[in-house]
Chain A
């Protein structure tokens, strides 16, 4: 069983969906996520174990390699594709409210900004590592974030911006959150943002990459 779970983790890490998949080239013809899930379910391995000891293990390796610059964004996306495919299969076998997530994180691209790829990448990395993401989308103002914080038991907020003209809206969002009495940690990211800027606007954390945010969450809020 452990061997099958390890193989599953490798398939997620490498984005191997099934035996017919041409990706990755060095695993052509070998079992993929589909076949391994079938084998694991046939020997009655609980879906929760499959997720935690196979799928999430694979995505954790992806996050680490991406952080260390050993793989690039397309590899992460391909792993996420394999992961999502596996989850779709498991949905038929398993009630997902049995899953114990590490916690909820609210993500948003700030008001005035419509760029969503960076935020989507953070979402994939966090979800693939056991965090439940509440994605508020793009062009998000303080009011929407405050409302969502009140409705949920989120543990942290992640704000993204790609423009120097919109990153300043992070400051007003943090001020509005604090003025409303919300003390949740706020992390910021995006191309024009820096550690210095994070300190200037009283953000709790800055990371140049999604894996840094994941590490922060795992260390401080898990």
Chain B
């Protein structure tokens, strides 16, 4: 089955975050309860007010995608994804490149807090913003998964440059396969996405693809940033 080649979404805040408690629970471990009750309501309102949530994908059909030893070729671009990601997508039949962002207004608020000496507020908003962009990617992934299920296929986890042994510098090739300024995201020469609170990655689709529940536990890349910060 064919998917739409290019699709973008403007999500409402409530579409991505069911309720305030949801994001608070995600941050439960790190923040003492009194800090949460004192600061979270205002920061959550600010997050809602400042977010400009966009997400989208470009789909590459089976003729455009080829997986071989440790690499995946998408059109004329060869990605050195490494063995960890390869394990998750080697059965792929087609591929989505995804991006999502919560825009630059939240970032400006974070910077303002820090510049004004309000580091705690800046830090809380930054953590909330990071969760929001992850939840945005989750929402996009769910949409893709529903489409895949309809066509009798399943999807992989989403994998991003910079994680699981895939070099962040490969963002350049990834973005070269997307329309310019896709979802309002630009890439710097150092492969940093602007706005910073953005996510890019790939999702594989196929009849024999399976999604892993505990990705970091099956990964043996001990130098991975994601593993180190857990």
Contacts and interface: CB of A to CB of B under 8 A. Distances in A.
Interface string A99-117: 0000000000001111111
A171 B162 CA distance: 20
Contact of A74 (B118, B123, B190, B191): B123
Contacts of A121: 119
Interface in A66-113: 72-75, 77-78, 80-81, 84, 111-113
Main secondary structure of the interface of A (DSSP, over half): helix
B123 A117 contact: yes
B6 interface: no
Contact of B124 (A25, A74, A84): A74
Given A73-B30, A78-B35, A117-B123, 14 more contacts: A22-B37, A22-B38, A72-B31, A77-B120, A80-B120, A81-B119, A84-B117, A112-B188, A114-B196, A116-B114, A117-B114, A120-B114, A165-B190, A165-B191
B228 interface: yes
A191 B228 contact: yes
B168 A112 contact: no
Nearest to B169: A165
Interface residues of B, number: 33
Contacts of B32: 23-24, 74-75
Contacts of B228: 191
Contacts of A23: 32, 34-35, 38
B33 A25 contact: yes
Contact of B189 (A84, A112, A115, A192): A112
- Measured as residues with beta carbon below 8 angstroms from the partner, the interface class of chain A is 20 to 34
Interface in B21-41: 30-35, 37-38
Contacts, number: 78
Q: Which 3 A-B pairs have the closest CB atoms?
A: A112-B190, A77-B120, A165-B190
A66 to B, nearest CB: 13
Contacts of B46: none
Contacts of B69: none
A162 to B, nearest CB: 8
Interface of A: 22-25, 72-75, 77-78, 80-81, 84, 111-117, 120-121, 124, 163-166, 169, 191-192, 194
19 contacts: A23-B35, A24-B32, A72-B30, A74-B32, A75-B32, A78-B35, A80-B119, A81-B119, A112-B189, A115-B196, A116-B111, A121-B119, A163-B162, A164-B167, A164-B169, A165-B190, A165-B191, A191-B228, A194-B223
A75 B124 CA distance: 12
B126 to A, nearest CB: 6
A125 B31 CA distance: 19
A173 B152 CA distance: 53
A153 to B, nearest CB: 25
Given A72-B30, A164-B167, A124 B189 contact: no
Contacts of B30: 72-74
Contacts of A191: 225, 228-229
Nearest to B110: A117
Given A75-B32, A77-B119, A117 B190 contact: no
B192 A114 contact: yes
Contacts of B123: 73-74, 77, 117
B36 to A, nearest CB: 9
A166 B120 CA distance: 26
Contacts of B191: 163, 165
